[in-house]
Amino acid sequence: MPLLKTNPIPWLFALLGTAPMFLVPIFAGEIIPLYPGEIPNSIPHSVKEIIEERDGEFSGYKGATNPTLEIVLPEKSEAPTAAVIICPGGGYIRQVYRKEGTDIAKVFSDHGVAAFILKYRIPNDETMADKSIGALQDAQRAIQMVRQQATKWNVDPAKVGIMGFSAGGHVASTAATHFKNDYIPNPEGISLRPDFAILIYPVISMIDGITHVGSKENLLGKEPEESAVELFSNERQVDKDTPPTWLTHAGDDAAVPVSNSLRFYNALIENNVPAEMHLYPEGGHGFVLKNPAEEWMSQIFAWMENRGIQ
């Protein structure tokens, strides 16, 4: 997989894997492979990820098999900056990489926060021995990589957080609640615990009636074991060591019920974990993307400042 580096030209032809050529926007940074060698939990396969476009422009990926990290750094500052790893959503079938990735990363970098967009593997029995942990492995690897190269990227290794939208919120909340087990090789013993989490209309639970059915089936299969449902219902995995968390959701979300955020918030409070939640009466799923990111993200920056993160 080729490296895509900073280029002053706003549009760049990029060949990803064996996919056909597409016009892919690269506004900053570089895209690097998440793993320098063998991808853990991967099995031989011929599945091809697909680059998607909307209205003639790059929008994201479907069925991602090649995990990458896009690095979007702020202007050089004297002190190391906070960092956030961004997990776009897409029902564990695709990733809305532009709207919930690059657009968000640019706002973070403009506000002095290093952003790292994670293209995580989409669950697939044809590509992984255990599809339920692939995205979690990629999230843990992203945290590990950012901390390993903190000096290079001028990042404070004690201020590395994770952010997720929709199913990407499940990836992020899983990373925030399952960090006590290393799902990737970690010989240096680097902490895989995010220092904070930002969850935007997140899928949290795998419990019927609350979960997003498509995300659950794609992650765990149509008839998962009850133990798997329990394990990946992240509201049930919260403890006192879960990182401080910000949640945003709309009350009329018909795709991912607001109960996901409510139950996670309640679990955080019960465990004395600092949490802030902003609920909107209406707007539906993906509502924040209808407004300029600078507007709705201003509350997140205020929270980060109040928490001493930024």
pLDDT of residue 290: 87
And the tokens for 211? Answer: 């979960």
Domain ranges of the chain: 30-306
**Predicted TM-score of the model (pTM):** 0.92
Supply the DSSP string of 247-270, one letter for each residue: EEEETT-SSS-THHHHHHHHHHHH
Q: How far apart are CA 175 and CA 194, in angstroms?
A: 7
Q: What is the pLDDT of residues 94-113, one digit of tens each?
A: 999 999 999 999 999 999 99
Residues 97, 59 contacting (CB under 8 angstroms):
yes
pLDDT above 90: residue 5: no
Fold of the domain built from segment(s) 30-306: Rossmann fold (3.40.50)
Specify the DSSP element, H or E, that contains 300. helix 293-306
Q: What is the pLDDT of residues 47-88, one digit of tens each?
A: 999 999 998 999 999 999 999 999 999 998 889 999 999 999
Q: What angle do CA 74, 79, 85 make, to 5 degrees?
A: 45
Beta strands 50-54 and 57-62, pairing class: antiparallel
